[in-house]
Each structure stands twice: as C-alpha cells, then as structure tokens.
C-alpha cells in the first residue's frame, strides 16, 4: 500500500519536469499578473517538493540489509538521456492539450514500469544510484548517499525496499 503511494509521488515528481519546461517555454504570466520567473520558480519548488515528499515516505518502507556484494556500477549518468527525452517532449509540444496527453502517458508508463528507476530530483538531496550484484547474483538498484568505488566490504545496514529490485539507503 505504502509502496503504491510512494510510486505515485515519485512518478508525479518525475513527470512534473515536463510541465515545468513547458511552462518555461510558454512563459506563463497568468495574464501578466505574475512575473514569469516567479511562476517558474514556484513550479520548480513544487517539483522538488514532490521529490522530497517521496523521499520522506521511504522512511516507512520495509527495512532491509545487504551484507555482501560482488559487483557495483555507478548508474547516475544512464538516466540523463531519459530526462533529455522529457525535456525535448516539453519543448516540442505545441499546446497545453498535447502536453497533458504526453505527461499522462509518460506518468502511466513510468508508474507501471517502476523497475530500477531513479528520480533525478534526488540528486539535489545528495543521492546517487548504483547497479549492485549481490553474492547470490541478485541484481539490485540501490539509491544511496555513499560514494562507492569498490564492492569490497560494501554493506548496507538500513536499506528500504521500494520494490524487489530497487532499494534506498537512509538512516534510522
């Protein structure tokens, strides 16, 4: 149940970027009542806010531990193309209607896939993501604040289970 709520907030926080870029492109001013910078800044805060909220929710997910890893690989960069894709979509759509359709479609797919997915908003909170292979050759996706270079002596004592392949490390 909680995992579903987390997924919802995480998906919203990811796809809001499309809305933010669209609004910036269109230069919304609400009939010149608000300066476009304020609108953009406000939306940016909301987007990061949703990311923070989803991050906060992970506190209540199931606790896990990992004692031994055999392989680890940095994965931050592999998500950049995806986000560039979102930005291109946002710049490319001509009107509000198409933007909404694109956002909803992407949200639904993201929500359904939800498999080893990294929210770039987490980068603002100091999180990085790694592909980790455990001693039983289980492939995991781990989001954590650590900077990891070698799987030797790599242990995670307070992971939270986002889903069976994705985990986030956080304090008690």
DSSP state of 170: -
Burial (CB < 10 A; 0-12, 13-18, 19+), residue 159, is buried
Instruction: Please identify, using beta-carbon distances, which residue of 6 and 156 lies nearer to other proteins.
Output: 156
Instruction: Please identify, using beta-carbon distances, which residue of 22 and 167 lies nearer to other proteins.
Output: 167
Confirm if 25 and 90 have CB atoms less than 8 A apart: yes
- Taking the complex as a whole, the smallest distance from the CB of residue 43 to other proteins amounts, in Å, to 35
Task: Tell me which residues touch other proteins (CB under 8 A).
Answer: 62-68, 134-136, 138, 140, 156, 159, 161, 163-164, 167
CA neighbor of 140 nearest in space, from 112, 113, 159: 159
- Taking the complex as a whole, the smallest distance from the CB of residue 2 to other proteins amounts, in Å, to 12
- Taking the complex as a whole, the smallest distance from the CB of residue 113 to other proteins amounts, in Å, to 17
- Taking the complex as a whole, the smallest distance from the CB of residue 167 to other proteins amounts, in Å, to 6
DSSP state of 121: G
Instruction: Please identify, using beta-carbon distances, which residue of 90 and 140 lies nearer to other proteins.
Output: 140
Instruction: Please identify, using beta-carbon distances, which residue of 69 and 93 lies nearer to other proteins.
Output: 69
CA neighbor of 10 nearest in space, from 61, 74, 65, 69: 61
- Taking the complex as a whole, the smallest distance from the CB of residue 171 to other proteins amounts, in Å, to 14
Contacts of 86 (CB under 8 A, 6+ apart): 15, 17, 18, 21, 106
End-to-end CA distance of the chain: 21
Helix or strand run (H / E) with residue 73: strand 69-74
Instruction: Please identify, using beta-carbon distances, which residue of 136 and 150 lies nearer to other proteins.
Output: 136
């Amino acid at each position: 149940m909680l995992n579903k709520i987390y997924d919802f907030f995480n998906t919203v926080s990811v796809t809001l970027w499309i809305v933010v870029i669209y609004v910036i492109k269109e230069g919304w001013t609400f009939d010149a009542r608000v300066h476009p910078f304020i609108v953009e800044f406000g939306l940016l805060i909301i987007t990061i806010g949703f990311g923070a909220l989803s991050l906060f929710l992970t506190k209540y997910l199931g606790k896990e531990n990992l004692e031994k890893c055999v392989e680890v690989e940095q994965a931050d960069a592999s998500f950049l193309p995806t986000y560039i894709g979102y930005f291109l979509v946002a710049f490319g759509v001509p009107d509000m209607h198409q933007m909404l359709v694109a956002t909803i479609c992407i949200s639904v797919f993201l929500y359904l896939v939800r498999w080893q997915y990294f929210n770039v908003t987490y980068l603002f909170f100091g999180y990085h993501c790694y592909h980790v292979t455990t001693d039983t050759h289980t492939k995991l996706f781990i989001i954590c604040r650590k900077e990891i270079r070698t799987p030797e002596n790599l242990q995670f004592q307070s992971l939270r289970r986002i889903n069976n392949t994705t985990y986030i490390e956080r304090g008690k």
